Structure 1
Amino acid sequence: MTEKPQKSPVLAGVVGCPVNHSLSPVIHTIWAKRAGVDGYYIPIEVPPDYDEFARAMDSLRTVGFAGVNITIPHKENALRYADSVSENAKQTGAANMLTFSEEGAAAENSDIIGFAEAVREKKSAPGMSALVLGAGGAARGVLLALKTLGFTDIRIANRTIERAKELAELFDLTVIDWTKKSEAIDNIDILVNTTSLGMSGQPPLEFNLSALNPSALVADIVYAPLKTSLLKDAEDKGHATVNGLAMLMHQAVPGFRAWFGADAKVDDELRGELVKELARRGKS
């Protein structure tokens, strides 16, 4: 009797520099266990240089990786490396996913889906007006997500106004002076912080929420700490909030489905495990 060849485990991972802080391995490991999938999701540190990145991707493809998530500072490197690029990745100018196949490496940006789904969890009818703080790579994904959700009046404020003007031209936005950001929220439906302000080890985000519509949603893409000063202030004033953990979980879904071939569910059990992991790391 001929024995059936054993099927190799699915291999995937997250690439960045540094990368050991990432919660993505925790998320994918939980989902793989739930689905009964024989697979491994590994953190892979690669120096910032593009040539180093390209060599690492070639090696991962050679050993049979199904794909990888990409984090700072390699999101633009991933776009450059890819053989095919999705429309979302093109518009953001960055990719947080590479999927490997015989046809090559396909780049995607699931941050857009991640933020949109995190907002839908909290607000089924998000309204029309938004103020986005920050004009970096993360802001681009958030802006596209807001467009997907139907927002038509989007304002942007950034400490360097020139960068805000660049995005305003690309996405048809209204530029708000950074020093007057707290005065531009009286009729908005969602406020989103995409800056590093409020993150562990960074200065706090100084923002006066007094003029904010009581029904407005407040979102912060930071997840360390889980509740930034902005989100604490918003909750104290009765606003619904979205933290960076929600976006992180939802952006992981497309990668898991593509690479591990199984369903991935964002729920309270997963959220609870991630909160415990952040507490273990002293970052909750």
Structure 2
Amino acid sequence: MTRACVIGWPIAHSRSPLIHNHWLRQYGIDGSYTREPVKPEDLQTFLQSLQALGLAGCNVTVPHKETAFALAAIRDLSAVAVSAANTLWLEGGRLACANTDTYGFMANLDAAAPDWRKRAGPVLILGAGGSARAVVYGFLEAGIGDVRVFNRTLDRAQDLVRHFGARVSAHAWDDRNEHVPEAAVIVNTTTLGMNGAGSVGIEFTRAQSGAVAADLVYVPLETEFLQTARANGLIGVDGLGMLLHQAVPGFEKWFGVRPVVTSELYQIIARDIGGAKC
């Protein structure tokens, strides 16, 4: 039996076992995927013991992503780009890491808004944390030449400019709506709107019809950000698809099969978070 898990502190909230165990059943694989609570002070020992514990690898969630990246001996370019890892596996007995958030976001964007590349205009990124780094990297890899990052602390947005170069620009949070009329894609990478708390405050009435609004928040599935965007003629892309797609590379690494994200899986997770779509 092949075993993998997700680690974090806390970890009870993670829906990764629902996703991976669905695929294990679907593909008839003799394997298991569990949640493992790991305290920050125990992380290094746990990762050094993967092989002894009989684990092919693990997913990593808060607060371990940066430390896991630092501990890995082999680092995929996706992890190097954001200085954080969410997927770990063993390669010749050595700890290897990747960050599949970029893949997950871009795969979901392509699936939910397949024509997004045809729209002219900059990409606006709201927030400048680790998730923003993964999203910025994805757009740069896709060849986008104008990515604008808005953050309440301007210096954090400027960190992304220093990290990624001239195609990225940093802007004050209060200036975000001045850029909306030009935007081809607007992405919320903040936690505003999670569980209905807080608002990103984007004036979608000023946006181009048919522009794309993507939210990384997926609880609730239909955030205020997405509701307002869709009501004003934008294409809405929810965060649940990113969660599902980011799980694909890790499953393939551990279990040897590249799984497919289906509407059935989407509905299973949507029902679990209490927001299944008809």
Above 0.5 in TM-score?
yes
**2:139 pairs with 1:146:** yes
**2:168 pairs with 1:191:** no
Q: Secondary structure at the match of 1:279?
A: coil
Q: How big is the shift at 1:201?
A: 6.5
Q: Secondary structure at the match of 1:67?
A: strand
Percent identity, aligned pairs only, is 36
Q: How does 1:53-132 map to 2 (within 5 A)?
A: 53-121=43-111, 122-126=113-117, 127=119, 129-132=122-125
The runs of 4+ residues in structure 1 deviating greater than 4 Å are none
- TM-score normalised by structure 1 residue count: 0.91
Matched to 2:10, the amino acid is P
Unaligned runs of 5+ in 2: none
**Residues 116, 148 of structure 1: 8 Å contact kept:** no
C-alpha distance in 2, partners of 1:66/1:150? 34
Of 151, 155, 173, the match for 2:148: 155
Q: Secondary structure at the match of 2:47?
A: helix
Matched to 1:29, the amino acid is N
Q: Deviations over 1:57-86 (max 9, x none)?
A: 223321210110111110111111111111
C-alpha distance in 2, partners of 1:101/1:168? 33
Q: 1:232 to 1:226 in 2, by over 3 A?
A: same
Matched to 1:160, the amino acid is T
Q: Which residue of 2 aligns with 1:166?
A: 159
C-alpha distance in 2, partners of 1:21/1:259? 22
Q: 1:228 to 1:125 in 2, by over 3 A?
A: closer
Matched to 1:144, the amino acid is Y
**Residues 148, 169 of structure 2: 8 Å contact kept:** yes
Matched to 2:139, the amino acid is L
Count of residues in Structure 1 that have an aligned counterpart in Structure 2: 271
**Residues 249, 258 of structure 2: 8 Å contact kept:** no
**Residues 164, 175 of structure 1: 8 Å contact kept:** yes
Matched to 2:158, the amino acid is K
C-alpha distance in 2, partners of 1:124/1:67? 35
Q: 1:125 to 1:233 in 2, by over 3 A?
A: closer
Of 16, 19, 22, the match for 2:8: 16
Q: How big is the shift at 1:48?
A: 2.4
Q: Deviations over 1:61-117 (max 9, x none)?
A: 212101101111101111111111111111110011111243311011111111110
Of 231, 250, 269, the match for 2:245: 250
Of 216, 220, 225, the match for 1:221: 216
Q: How big is the shift at 1:200?
A: 1.6
CA-atom RMSD, angstroms?
A: 1.6
C-alpha distance in 1, partners of 2:91/2:158? 39
Out of 171-180 and 89-98, give the one that drifted further: 171-180
Q: Secondary structure at the match of 2:134?
A: helix
Q: How big is the shift at 1:45?
A: 1.2
Q: How big is the shift at 1:125?
A: 4.2
